[in-house]
């Protein structure tokens, strides 16, 4: 399975089942209220150029028509790190990493406190009082003591996410995959064009 980066042990599998069962139990007890409080956060690289897939590049032609020559293309070196927070309704916050910077605990904590919380207050009135259920993976910037302290201070609750389980991350299926499919075959010469294209797709 390509989404799982390593073979799961029996302990990992049992932990996945336990965490998923607890989430199902909460849904059974709280209903749609539980789902409406979940805010998912995730990061992905968006390249200046994503080649068309084989399906996208297919075209109809007559059997006697000469085969069209296709040249091998390489993705450009340009890329942008997108951090996105979204819920069951729509995206809440999109953020782009500055050139030369990395996503560490300090930056991620600052993003939560100074960008995400104000965005939730503005776009999801009443959600802060109900308590945000933050769903993110177990990347180091998300799990350090500094980040955990920030999340507690903000009054958020972190939903459990099993280790080595990107296949359980909704962003890859419902957001980043369709986003990159929509941008395939398009070329961008600068980061700002990528930001605008991503923002337009999210808005639509």
Whether this prediction's pTM lies above 0.85 is answered by no
Q: Would you write out the chain's pLDDT as a tens digit for each of its 204 residues?
A: 455 667 888 999 999 999 999 999 999 999 999 999 999 999 999 999 877 654 444 555 556 666 655 544 454 568 999 999 999 999 999 999 998 889 999 999 999 999 999 999 999 999 999 999 999 999 999 999 999 999 999 999 999 998 888 778 888 878 898 999 999 989 999 999 999 999 999 998
**What is the predicted pLDDT for the residue at 170?**
84
Q: Which CATH architecture has domain 36-51+75-203?
A: 2-Layer Sandwich (3.30)
31: left (phi over 0), alpha (psi -120 to 50) or beta: left
**What is the predicted pLDDT for the residue at 35?**
95
- Quick one: CA dihedral 96, 93, 111, 105, positive or negative? negative
**What is the predicted pLDDT for the residue at 57?**
46
**What is the predicted pLDDT for the residue at 65?**
65
**What is the predicted pLDDT for the residue at 68?**
59
Distance separating alpha carbons of residues 191 and 29, to the nearest angstrom: 45
């Amino acid at each position: 399975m390509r989404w799982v980066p390593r073979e799961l042990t029996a302990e990992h599998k049992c932990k996945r089942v336990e965490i998923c069962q607890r989430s199902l139990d909460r849904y059974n007890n709280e209903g749609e209220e539980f789902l409406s409080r979940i805010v998912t956060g995730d990061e992905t690289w968006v390249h200046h150029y994503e080649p068309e897939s084989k399906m996208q590049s297919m075209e109809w032609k007559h059997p006697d028509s000469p085969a069209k020559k296709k040249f091998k293309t390489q993705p450009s070196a340009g890329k942008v790190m997108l951090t996105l927070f979204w819920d069951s309704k729509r995206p809440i916050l999109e953020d782009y990493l500055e050139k030369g910077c990395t996503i560490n605990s300090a930056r991620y904590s600052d993003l939560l406190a100074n960008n995400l919380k104000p965005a939730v207050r503005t776009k999801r009135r009443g959600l802060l009082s109900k308590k945000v259920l933050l769903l993110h993976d177990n990347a180091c910037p998300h799990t350090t003591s500094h980040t955990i302290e920030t999340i507690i201070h903000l009054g958020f609750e972190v939903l459990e996410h099993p280790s080595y389980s990107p296949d359980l991350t909704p962003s890859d299926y419902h957001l980043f995959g369709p986003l990159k499919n929509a941008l395939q075959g398009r070329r961008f010469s600068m980061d700002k064009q990528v930001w605008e294209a991503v923002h337009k797709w999210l808005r639509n």
